Amino acid sequence: MNKNFCVSQDLTLDQWTLQGDNKTQGRIFASFLLLFELIGLPWNILVVVTVVKEKLYNQPAVILLLNLIVADFFILLVPTPLFMTTGFVGEFILGSSDMERCKFCKLSFLIIIPVFNSMFTVAFMSLDRFFYIYKPFKYERNKTKYTSVVVVVFSVVCSIIIGVVSLVLRASDVYFHPTLMVCIGSNLRFWLPLGKIFLDAIDTAAASNH
């Protein structure tokens, strides 16, 4: 597979577009993202309006929910439109030159911050409900607004650390993957064994179609 490594000012990069079957798959994927956007945005707005109207924002469980909504808004307003536009247009749209696209490609990995924040928040919400059912009386005594705020701060800080570390690890070795329609670092195959298995399977399937 021809990869666009952003490692040299002298390197000519010309593989920022979706080719062949990838172009069709990109449009299909973008259509699903559009549907996701049309459902996700109104739904999250409705939840926020309900929380504000009913004045539920001081409840510990609702604080976690609001953090999840904020993370979802970032996902819906930043990476989703980027991937959707890439799929419909058929090329990576950020930047007018190869080197500009390289810079945006590297920075685009920071979008995993709201993704991880969303994942952490869902995990904490699951634990919250578990303890509420398993030990309800102890839960009522210990569960406070303060503990929810601490959990939210922990989730956000961990997500930022993961995002920044991931950006540093892939800063010198990044390329646009025409099948996944995202920028990834080739060191993902080293740092994440499951990532290697997944990417190898994607690349094998793409090669077999040509």
- Residue 49 sits in a domain whose CATH number is 1.20.1070.10
Give the count of domains, the chain.
1
Domain presence at residue 35: yes
Domain presence at residue 9: no
Domain presence at residue 16: no
Domain presence at residue 11: no
Q: Which is more confident, 133 or 141?
A: 133
CB 170 within 8 Å of CB 103: no
Q: pLDDT band for 38, please (50, 70, 90 cuts).
A: very high
Q: What is the pLDDT of residues 21-34, one digit of tens each?
A: 777 878 888 898 89
Q: pLDDT band for 69, please (50, 70, 90 cuts).
A: very high
Domain presence at residue 171: yes
Domain presence at residue 8: no
- Enter the tokens of residue 67: 């953090």
Q: Which range of residues forms the domain containing residue 197?
A: 21-208
Q: What is the pLDDT of residues 158-170, one digit of tens each?
A: 999 988 887 776 6
Cα 200 from Cα 157, distance rounded (Å): 31
Domain presence at residue 13: no
Domain presence at residue 7: no
Position 205 scores a pLDDT of 53
Residue 201 to residues 48, 139, 179, 189: CA-CA distances in angstroms? 40, 45, 11, 12
